[in-house]
Homo-oligomer: A and B are copies of this chain.
Amino acid sequence: MSVDALAARVRRGERRAVARALTLVEGLGPEADVLLTALGPPPEATRRVAVTGPGGVGKSTLIAALVAHLRAEGCTVAVLGIDPSSPLTGGAVLGDRVRMAEHDTDAGVFVRSQAGRGAAGAIAAATGCSVWILAASGFDVILIETVGAGQDQVAVVGVADVVTLALAPGAGDAVQALKAGLMEIPDVIAVTRADAPGAELLVADLRLAGIDCPVVRTTALNGGGVAELWATVAAGVDALAADGGLERRRRAGMADQLRALAIARLASQLPGAGELDALAGEVMAGRRGVSSAVDTAVERAEGPAG
């Protein structure tokens, strides 16, 4: 199938085409930018929401509840999992996946786990490309699931319009990390298992620590607080859009993506393994300095297009 034909099918929302397009862009190969060019700029109306938080806080349960809420509201939803340990989108055991089973035959829901390959910037750029494709194929909301810790996962957050951090009772460490500036302050905090002991203490800790973003209490297993959480998230996107912040944020994400695509293209033009190995041998033998070997490699990368 030509890239143009694939783009046309993606725009019609054909699921197999969407899956194929996602596979194509994940590696940031030369066809990635051709496909995105064929798709044109991503629709502005799509809401892109990162749901981040450490393992074990009930992030997957929360996302499944958000999906159910959004479907009931008539919105189509794509879930893009960047967290490799996620039971929702990752290679999880059967029992853990059960919560999404109700959506398995629903054409308005699309769940995809992105292979987390390559450099930090490359993972975020691939996520940006995937979000672009999902938006072009017509989903109203894209939920991006990430652990939000470590360089890869932090960079991924740059792709989202707003970031929701899920914290469970007992997450005192996370509050300290937020307060110390070791973790980005999210746009919204969801306190999961809000009916469990310690939930109110967590909310009080957040306030004491001076973290003043909206905090929503959720009990996702029975849907409690989920409508309020979504309303808070949507209000956050709207507020950003009203003062121009949304456009700036999306443009910064696109700039990061262009940079990563450019680096991927330049890297693909470097000499192959055999030639690099020969250069390495010359350096080790003292016949060539590192600078000269790097010069040679860079000149080769610059050759084809320069």
Give residues in A with beta carbon < 8 Å to B.
Answer: 33-34, 36-37, 40-42, 117-122, 151, 247, 250-252, 254-255, 257-259, 261-263, 265-267, 270, 273, 276-277, 279-281, 283-286, 289-295, 297-299, 301-303, 305-306
- A290 and B37 contact, CB distance less than 8 A: yes
- Known contacts A277-B251, A302-B305, A306-B302, A34 near B262 by CB under 8 Å: no
Contacts of A259 in B (CB 8 A): 267, 270, 276, 297
CB contacts (< 8 Å) of A293 on chain B: these are 258
Chain B residues, CB < 8 A from A299: 305-306
The smallest C-beta distance from A177 to any residue of chain B, in angstroms, reads: 14
The answer to whether A270 touches B277, judged by C-beta atoms less than 8 angstroms apart, is: no
Please tell me if the beta carbons of B251 and A281 are within 8 angstroms of each other in the complex: yes
Write the chain B residue with the least CB distance to A262: B297
Chain B residues whose C-beta falls within 8 Å of the C-beta of A261 in the assembled complex: 290, 294, 297
Give the complex CA separation of A252 and B276 in angstroms: 9
- For A117, A121, A284, which residue has the most chain B Cβ atoms within 10 angstroms? A284
CA distance A280 to B285 in the complex (A): 45
